[in-house]
Amino acid sequence: MIEVGAALVVWLGAALIVLADARRGLALGLAAVTIGFAVLAWGSGQPVGAIALLVGGLTGALRCWTPGPATWGLMPPGSTPRLVLCVAAGLLSLWISASVTTTPGGPLLFAVLVVLGLMAARVLSGGDKVADLTAIACFALALASSPALASSIPTAPVPYIFGALIAAAVVVAPVTLPQGAARSGKDGG
Amino acid sequence: MAAELLLAAAATLILAVVLAPPRVQRAGLLTRGLVGLAGMAAIAIAPTLDLILLILLVLAVLQAGLVSHRDFASRVRAPVLAIALLALGLAFERVEGPPLLLRFGAVGIVAGLVAAIGLLPYLHEFDPEESTVASPIPWIAFVGPVLAVAVLSRVKQVLPADASDAFGAMLIGLGLLNVLWGTVAAWRTESDAAAWRYSFLSDWGLVLCGFGLAIADGQGAALILLLSIVLGRLPLYLWSRQGVRDKTPTDRPINLLVAAALAGSAPFAGFAARVMLLRGATQIYWPLAVVLAAAMLLWLPASLRLGRSMGLPRGRQAIGVAIVLALSVFLGIYPQPLLALAG
């Protein structure tokens, strides 16, 4: 039951990231996704992985929360398609994980599918850089958690730790060099 | 196979840095190339597909963070979609479910791989004026070969036997599509730079067909073609950029030699690969060999165009072109040690 709740928290967090355009909304979404995946990792017998995800994801969420204007930016005008996308992605993932597959790790499958689908949609829809980086951080958390889907193969904490590091780094580290002198292949021949 | 491609990529980086035109910032090119090489090495030694996807995510963010007039979102879009498709495909392969789900998983993995390399239309925006390191070219010609080999070797661990045939068929189908698309687009486009990009697509089409054949000849052909992309087409593209900008098509013997190398004529590396590919296709399904042979012949005029677009190489460029052509001839005449090394 806890795992089902955690999967729903993951969906809620991913939906927040899709629906929010400002830092606080994105930070809350990342935190929810982090907590959800950490609980799921703990439930699949990976306490080290769960702690790693929690530290990495919450570091990213904290960094996302602090700078910039203190606004949530939730559901700005014209958000109906995004809302429909969140509901549809949730229902499709629920159908696949609960009805199509017979695997015992249904909640984890639901969480992985919904995050991959919604975050890919978020990046493809072309938001601002902070939203894209937050979506990529969620991606890292989902990718780190997905090895546990294979019930026959024992999972190691390495993907969790690596995924958590990426989730923290992409939000914390400045990844863009100063603009200017971008054209004419000065650095690449 | 990945080790050979990694070595080839390192050699290309050295060639590109040492023989770069004077106006190119060598330190920046070397730093970014080394970061890419480190990522490729990590991809090659990563034990699982999940780790490969995480490394790919890091590389995508790093490349999207480079200086460019294209925004972050447009540059990170293609790799993120690729990772999403690969991860979804992998998830479907891992769970227990109906066979249809496994086939959807195979579709996701193939589509993700194709998107990661840069073969999906309209996803990778290509601007001839953009610096090469920030453009989609590193994905298709530098990181892509190692990534494809790593993904295809790891995917065997998760792909069930009944999905393997569908997987191979999809690779061949997409390969043929890319060969034809690359060839026709290279003919029709007005931009020489775009024609160079389409030439990579066409070569990749043959590579995908080779991997899809799943026999020794096909794999060997794919390896030689990948090496000819990394060690041949990529450096030639880099050295052609000035000629393409100046729009000075030249009809010297060196341009004809470059055109022959790009077309895969004897005695260059592409010829051995094409012969192996045709031999493999004949073993599996002979009409495929006929289609492949027709596509290979169609590529000749576009290769002449690319050869002419290089202009007349001078100084360092000329040395670089000579080295690349010599390597290509060596690989074309004597590919056996390389094939034996790759197993």
pLDDT at B250 over 90: no
Alpha helices in B310-333, H assignment, sequence order: 315-333
Q: Are the C-beta atoms of B223 and B4 separated by less than 8 Å?
A: yes
Report the predicted TM-score, pTM, of the whole model to 2 decimal places.
Answer: 0.90
Q: Is residue A182 part of a domain?
A: no
Residue A180 pLDDT grade (very low, low, confident, very high; cuts 50, 70, 90): very low
pLDDT tens-digit series, residues A99-114? 888 877 889 999 999 9
Q: Is residue A188 part of a domain?
A: no
**Cβ of B54 under 8 Å from any chain A Cβ?**
yes
Contacts 24+ apart (CB under 8 A), A147-155: A147/B48, A147/B50, A148/A40, A148/A41, A148/A44, A148/A46, A148/A105, A148/A108, A149/A103, A149/A105, A149/A108, A149/A109, A149/A112, A149/B91, A149/B94, A149/B95, A150/B94, A150/B158, A151/A103, A151/A104, A151/A105, A155/A44, A155/A46, A155/A49
Chain A CB contacts of B132 below 8 Å: 185, 188-189
A91 min Cα distance to partner chain B (Å): 16
pLDDT tens-digit series, residues B263-281? 888 889 889 999 999 999 9
Residue type, B121: P
pLDDT of residue B129: 79
Candidates A92, A103, A143, partner chain B, best to mutate (most B CBs within 10 A) = A143
Residue A186 pLDDT grade (very low, low, confident, very high; cuts 50, 70, 90): very low
Q: What ipTM goes with this model?
A: 0.89
- The alpha carbon of B183 is separated from its chain's Cα centroid by a whole number of angstroms, namely 15
**Cβ of B18 under 8 Å from any chain A Cβ?**
no
Interface contacts (A, B; CB < 8 Å): 161
Q: Which of residues 246-305 of B touch A (CB under 8 A)?
A: none
Chain A CB contacts of B23 below 8 Å: 186
Candidates A123, A129, A134, partner chain B, best to mutate (most B CBs within 10 A) = A123
Total domains in chain A come to 1
Cβ–Cβ below 8 Å for B51 and A166: no
The three-point CA angle B115-B117-B122 to 5° equals: 50
pLDDT of residue A151: 65
Average pLDDT, chain B: 88
Q: Is residue A139 part of a domain?
A: yes
Range of the domain at B110: 2-342
**Option in B83, B131, B134 nearest A139 (CB):** B83
Cβ–Cβ below 8 Å for A163 and B69: no
pLDDT of residue B302: 87
Helix axes A23-43 and A47-65, enclosed angle (nearest 10): 180
Residue B215 pLDDT grade (very low, low, confident, very high; cuts 50, 70, 90): confident
Q: Is residue A108 part of a domain?
A: yes
* Mean pLDDT value across residues A33-53: 92
Which residues does residue A74 pair with via DSSP β-bridges, in sequence order? Answer: A20
Quick one: which of A168, A149, A148, A166 has its CA closest to A63?
A168
Cβ–Cβ below 8 Å for A159 and B135: no
pLDDT tens-digit series, residues B299-321? 888 888 888 888 888 888 889 99
Q: Are the C-beta atoms of B293 and B241 separated by less than 8 Å?
A: no
Q: Is residue A31 part of a domain?
A: yes
pLDDT of residue A179: 40
Question: What percentage of chain B exceeds 90 in pLDDT?
Answer: 42
Cβ–Cβ below 8 Å for B80 and A181: no
pLDDT at A177 over 50: no
pLDDT at A189 over 70: no
Total domains in chain B come to 1
Q: Is residue A39 part of a domain?
A: yes
pLDDT of residue B338: 78
Residue B83 pLDDT grade (very low, low, confident, very high; cuts 50, 70, 90): very high
Range of the domain at A58: 2-67+83-172
pLDDT at A178 over 50: no
pLDDT of residue A183: 41
**Tokens for B133?**
């390191």
Helix (H, G, I), strand (E, B) or coil at B121: coil
Of the listed ranges A128-132, A151-155, B81-85, B253-257, the one predicted with least confidence: A151-155
| Distance separating alpha carbons of residues B232 and B34, to the nearest angstrom | 19
pLDDT of residue B28: 85
Cβ–Cβ below 8 Å for A120 and B81: yes
B92 min Cα distance to partner chain A (Å): 9
Q: Is residue A88 part of a domain?
A: yes
